[in-house]
Amino acid sequence: MSLLDLNGVTLKFGGVTAVNNLSMSVNEGEVFALVGPNGAGKSTVFNMISRFYRPVRGKISFDGENLLNHRAHEIANLGIARTFQNIELFERATVLENLLVGRHRHRKSSLPEQMFFMGRVRQEEREHRLAVEEVIEFLDLQAYRDKMIAGLPYGVRKVVELARALATKPRLLLLDEPASGLSVEETQDMRWWIDDIRRQMGITVLMVEHDMGLVSKVCDRVLALADGAKLAEGTPAEVQSHPAVIEAYLGTSAISKTANAKGERV
């Protein structure tokens, strides 16, 4: 069953068509990747799903709900969480505090109750803390729990951002280049985590990623974009060997060479 559907979506910035008549659907429970050269429109697709941009044409729906009727701050409430290519954390707060902000949408008590820290609020706080501790354990962040974000290395921040997204308990997780800037070991960890996020937590994942090694290991399906339009869609192996994809990445001459070499790998 498809969870997220894009139907004929087009977005223009002035005269530039950033995304052109794109249709795709992500099924519940799968890991789906968007790949393509820089400027292909991958992050733009993310920004439309999280309602930062509004497409000029087309429909985006999540679990039957028209996303275009919702504003950016309502997206989290529908059960969509995301990470950013250039990490967006609350810098002057600790790891724990960042994750607790992730629980924002689950806070139900009223302002006066919170002000005077009444029984129901205390109960709620305990639940939030528990939910956050589960995520901390899952991603091995115990050592950083009370550290300020401003002093943390890049690799750890990346994991904290993933943790904060998980703390919102989403149904769909958007990962914008989860492996960029990570070391080989960190990328390896990321791979297992994405696997577990899908298997143990049952969260559907849509990611943008350049590292084809990671993509082919964790993804069920891949969609290749170039200049805002769909080039190919299918399993990682299918998309990687698709002539249009090779052309977009390496240029036309590469394609004739491949053709000449017949069967030799590019």
Q: Does 164 bind other proteins (CB under 8 A)?
A: yes
**Other CB atoms within 10 Å distance of the CB of residue 161:** 22
**In terms of CB distance, is 132 or 215 closer to other proteins?**
132
Could you say whether residue 127 binds other proteins (CB under 8 A)? no
| Residue 93 touches other proteins, criterion: CB under 8 A | yes
Per rule CB under 8 A, is residue 74 in the interface with other proteins?
A: yes
Residue 36's region, left for phi above 0, alpha for psi from -120 to 50, else beta, is left
The reply on whether position 68 binds other proteins by CB under 8 A is no
206, β-bridge pairs: 32, 174
Task: For tokens 């170039």, name the residue.
Answer: 226
**Per CB under 8 A, which region of 20-28, 81-89, 176-184, 220-228 contacts other proteins?**
81-89
Task: Please give the full DSSP string across 112-141, using - where no structure is assigned.
Answer: HHHHTT-HHHHHHHHHHHHHHHHHHHHTT-
* Only segment of 115-123, 139-147, 184-192, 213-221 that touches other proteins (CB under 8 A): 115-123
**69 binds other proteins per the rule CB under 8 A:** no
Q: Does 122 bind other proteins (CB under 8 A)?
A: no
Count of beta carbons in the 10 Å neighbourhood of residue 72:
11
- Minimum gap (Å) between residue 80 Cβ and other proteins: 8
User: Residues 173, 202: contact at Cβ < 8 Å?
Assistant: no
Which residues are 204's β-sheet partners?
172
Quick one: tokens of 94?
A: 């600790």
What number of CA atoms fall less than 13 Å from residue 114's CA on the CB side?
A: 7
The window from 29-37, 96-104, 130-138, 205-213 that contacts other proteins (CB under 8 A) reads: 96-104
CA distances from residue 37 to 116, 189, 194, 248, 266 in whole angstroms, order as listed: 53, 25, 23, 7, 17
Interacting stretch for other proteins, rule CB under 8 A, among 11-19, 21-29, 110-118, 221-229?
A: 110-118
CB of 121 to other proteins, least distance (A): 8
**Residue 76 in contact with other proteins, rule: CB under 8 A:** yes
Taking the least distance from each CB to other proteins, the nearer of 16 and 72 is 72
Instruction: Work out the end-to-end distance of the chain between its first and last CA atoms, rounded to an integer number of angstroms.
Output: 35
Q: Do residues 204 and 29 make contact, with C-beta atoms less than 8 angstroms apart? A: yes
Size of the site for other proteins (CB under 8 A): 34
Please choose, out of 9-17, 87-95, 135-143, 251-259, the segment that lies near other proteins by the rule CB under 8 A. Answer: 87-95
Stretch that binds other proteins, among 28-36, 80-88, 179-187, 199-207 (CB under 8 A): 80-88
CB of 110 to other proteins, least distance (A): 9
H or E element in which residue 146 lies: none
Count of CB atoms within 10 A of residue 51's CB? 18
CB of 88 to other proteins, least distance (A): 4
Residues at the contact surface with other proteins, assessed by CB under 8 A: 50, 52, 71-77, 81-82, 84, 88-93, 101-102, 104-105, 107, 109, 111, 114-117, 121, 150-151, 164, 168
